[in-house]
Amino acid sequence: MSFLDHIHRCNNADLGQFEPWFVGEHRAGYLHRDFAAEAIRGSGLFERRAGAWHLDARLDTPEKRTAEVRGFLLALRERGYFKGLWREENYAVAPQDGVPFLMAMERSAVPWFGVRAGGPHMTGYVRRADGLHIWVPRRSYEKPTFPGQLDNTVAGGQPAGLGLHENLVKECGEEASIPPELARQARAVSVVGYWNQSGQQLKPDVMTCFDLEMPGDFTPRANDGEVHSFELWPARRVFETVRDTTEFKYNCNLVLIDFFVRHGMLSADDPDFIPIVAGLRMLYTPQ
C-alpha cells in the first residue's frame, strides 16, 4: 500500500461504461449503461439523443424537476434500488462550473445518477512540544457504510440549501461535540477531487478540506452515534497508517494526504511527490 495506491483506488472509474445526462444544456451527471437500460429507458422522464440522456424539457424549473424526479426515485426504491440507504436528505444537482442550481436529489440516489457530491472534511489537530497530533475517530460499528473504519476528525455530506462552513459547524457539534465558537475557527484550506466507481454507481466527488487547530485541553466526544471513539494520534502515526494500510475510509485517505503535503510531512524529493499532489485534484472528466 502507498499514497498513490489510495489515489488510484479512489480514481477507478471507467467512463466508457457511462453516458452523460443533461438538464437543458447543462451536464448534470452520468448514467451507467446497464442502469439506464433497466431503470431509465421507458420511464418517460428521460429521452436519449446522440449518446446522451436528457431530462424532460417540460420540467423547466428546479422545483418541477425535484418533485418529478423524487416520485421516480421513490418508485425505484420500491423496486429495490438504494439498498436500504434512503436518507430523506437532498443534495444539490449543480455542476461546479458557475451553473446555477438545477434541482435537488435524494442523497442515496446521487451516485446512481453520477451527480457530483461532496462536503466538508476537517482535520482537527493539536500542537504539542513533540510535534503535531491529529484527532482520529473510528466510525460506529453500527453504521451501514464503512463500519468500524477510521475517518477524518469531522466529515459530512453537503445537503442542499446549506453553506459548507455552516454545515461543518453543524457536523462538528453532531459528530464530535465541538462547540460552535471553536468549530467556526476551522479554515477552508484545499479541495480534493476523485472519480470513483462502484458497480453501476459513480462518484465524481469534490471534498472541501478544512483544518482546525484545537486546544490541548479539549477532547472530542461522540454525540450522534456515528462515531465509536476518538483518539489523539501523533501525526507521524497517522501518516504511516495511511501510507501502509487501508484502515481509513477510502476517500478520507486523500484528505489526510493533502494535510501531510500542506504541513511539510511529504518531501518534495520523494519520487512520487508530483503525481501524489496532482492526483489529489481529479476535478475534471478523466480522458
DSSP 205: -
Q: What is the pLDDT of residue 285?
A: 77
CB 22 within 8 A of CB 265: no
Which residues, at least 6 apart from 244, have a Cβ–Cβ distance to it below 8 Å? 1
Rounded to an integer, the average pLDDT of 173-178 is 96
- In the predicted structure, residue 287 carries a pLDDT above the cut 70: no
For the entire predicted model, the pTM comes to 0.94
Q: What is the pLDDT of residue 99?
A: 67
- CATH class of this structure's domain 3-11+117-279: alpha beta
- What CA dihedral angle connects 231, 247, 188 and 131, to 10 degrees? 50
196-244 tens-digit pLDDT: 999 999 999 999 999 999 999 999 999 888 899 999 999 999 999 999 9
Whether CATH 3.30.750.160 fits 16-113 = yes
Where does CATH 3.90.79.10 sit in the chain?
3-11+117-279
Where does CATH 3.30.750.160 sit in the chain?
16-113
- In the predicted structure, residue 56 carries a pLDDT above the cut 60: yes
Pairing mode, strands 187-193 and 131-139: unpaired
191-208 tens-digit pLDDT: 999 999 999 999 999 999
DSSP string for residues in 200-263: TEEE--EEEEEEEE--TT------SSSEEEEEEEEHHHHHHHHHH---B-TTHHHHHHHHHHHT
Q: Mean pLDDT across the chain, nearest whole number?
A: 95
